[in-house]
Chain A
Amino acid sequence: MNESLNQLTAAIKAGKRKIARSATAEALEAGLSPQSVLDALTEGMNDVGKRFKANEIFVPEVLVAARAMQKSMDLLEPILIASGIEPKFSIVIGTVEGDLHDIGKNLVTMMLKGANFKVIDLGVNVTAETFANAVNEHNPNVVGLSALLTTTMPAMESIVSELNKLNAPFKIMVGGAPITQEFAEQIGADGYSPDAASAVELAQKLCA
């Protein structure tokens, strides 16, 4: 494997954004394929996800890795688009109506991007109508809903119920501090994951 690609993977793993950017620039200037750069980046984030799930690293380490990934993507993304390389799967994601908390949702978003998902992030305080419009517009494989507060769990339930009425082939996954597998099943979601790394695995499973 090319030295600059190794450097890129290592920089993502360690959360070194400057090195991530310079290694990406070097690789592209050397004429390496954008796909190979993307693969090096995904390999780094995949490792971060694994270590996070194993409790070897924690949210801060994931955040700096994602920040480094973003620096690389800033250079890579226009070239991927120009080359017609598109993610295979897409997800619409948002924090449910009444809830403004987005650290967990943002972590999931970053890890999904790191796993080469196209992510349509609707932000916070998202209504059933906004989710439904996004489903119609983007035709995603998965819709992801997040909630932190016990007081917004009822909103998650009603949004899932509205989304399940739509005639489209997407799956719904939910997460957030007070959410459990039991609650997910009870409200009619297709999946639940307790952390951001598992959320990526779940999304991949739901797309398969």
Chain B
Amino acid sequence: MTPRERIFNTLNRQAVDRVPIDIWHTPEVLESLKSYTGKNDELELYNKLGIDKIVWLLPQYQKPISDPNEDKSHDTWGVPTRKVRSGQATYHEFGKGPLADYEEPEELDDYPLWPDPDKFDYAAVKEAAERARQFGFPTLGPWISHFEIYCHMRGMENALMDTIAEPEFLDAALDRIENIQTAILERYLKEFGDQLDFVFIADDMGTQESQLISTPAYERHLKPRLKRWCDLSHAHGKKVLFHSDGAARNFVPHLIEAGIDILNPIQHLCPGMERAELKRDFGNQVIFHGGIENQHALPFGSVDDVRKETQTCLETLGAGGGYIPCSCHNIQAGTPVENIIAMIETAQGYQPIQ
């Protein structure tokens, strides 16, 4: 089977020649896998390792939005970012949210850096999709989000407080954030046709310990918006892979009602996200993607710890199928390559109990 066939059969709860295995990683981990495999090309590397990579189709923004007078760069939404180092890792840290000091919804009209949905490089995305197909890999894109983008633009603490203190402003900003990305999603759905397999929607709804915002706030501000994107994706025959970190258990029934098909990344150490219980309660309504623990087992555990962790995910989240094993979010810098290989090989060699 090709990786794409293996992933689709898993989604459709049909037989597979072996369990699929996907991987998410940081740039540092990609470098260590390049050294390990001797392959410099990312897709060749996945192919060599037998990874059933769901290939990202992310649109690059064409319009230059950095201010030449400032030694700073901005993301697509005009949020300042800078590169920082944390131990062995390097990542982009967000600066002050450009909407932090806005008070009235009308002020949003004057925000100068709303992205133009037509100024993304869709041709490059199409090329990436074609290349993924040559390897038999399934594809995933664009990356769209409501609240996460709002948090970047407004500043996270402000954004969280807005769910209580400024609901009208929050709705007005979310309307704009939604509409711009609906236009991007429509272009993906119409222009890429069969080259696009899954729509990726992200909104982290859990902290390490509990839900991030109240359930009524979720139902008012986010659930109907998620449903609109799910409905649009389904109308074009695409399944939705939804991402929420953390202890998001209380939102899972809402996510399913809104129409998600695949839930990622299943941070099972968080309260309420225990694997067997999630599978029991939701396993017949949603496919699980992720699971393999990434705060302790993968970065700091032994090879044997990783094998056991992967095996337990397969036996719980994967009981009876309906599970795509993957690292629970991006494998972090400094994670031993042997641990990553142990994860991949354990999934590939898994024999379900009949």
- A149 contact from B87, B160, B207, Cβ within 8 A: B87
| Cα A153 to Cα B156 with chains together (Å) | 23
- Which residues 211-240 of B have a CB within 8 angstroms of A? 211-214, 217
Distance (Å) between the CB of A99 and the closest chain B CB? 6
B295 A150 Cβ-Cβ under 8 A:
yes
Distance (Å) between the CB of B106 and the closest chain A CB? 22
| Cα A137 to Cα B84 with chains together (Å) | 30
- Closest chain A residue to B334, Cβ basis: A151
| Cα A80 to Cα B334 with chains together (Å) | 49
| Chain B residues within an 8 Å CB radius of A151 | 86-89, 332-334
| Cα A149 to Cα B211 with chains together (Å) | 20
B49: interface (CB < 8 Å): no
A60 B156 Cβ-Cβ under 8 A:
no
B119: interface (CB < 8 Å): no
Distance (Å) between the CB of A150 and the closest chain B CB? 5
B110: interface (CB < 8 Å): no
B161 A178 Cβ-Cβ under 8 A:
no
- Closest chain A residue to B211, Cβ basis: A58
A123: interface (CB < 8 Å): no
| Chain B residues within an 8 Å CB radius of A100 | 84, 86, 93
| Cα A149 to Cα B333 with chains together (Å) | 10
Chain B residues in contact with chain A, CB under 8 A? 84-89, 93, 156-157, 160-161, 163-165, 207-214, 217, 294-296, 299-300, 332-334
Chain A residues in contact with chain B, CB under 8 A? 15, 55, 57-61, 63-64, 67, 98-100, 103, 106, 149-155, 177-178, 180, 194-195
Q: Given A67-B161, A149-B87, output 13 extra A-B contacts at Cβ < 8 Å.
A: A15-B164, A58-B207, A58-B211, A58-B213, A58-B214, A59-B207, A60-B161, A60-B213, A60-B214, A98-B87, A152-B86, A178-B295, A194-B208
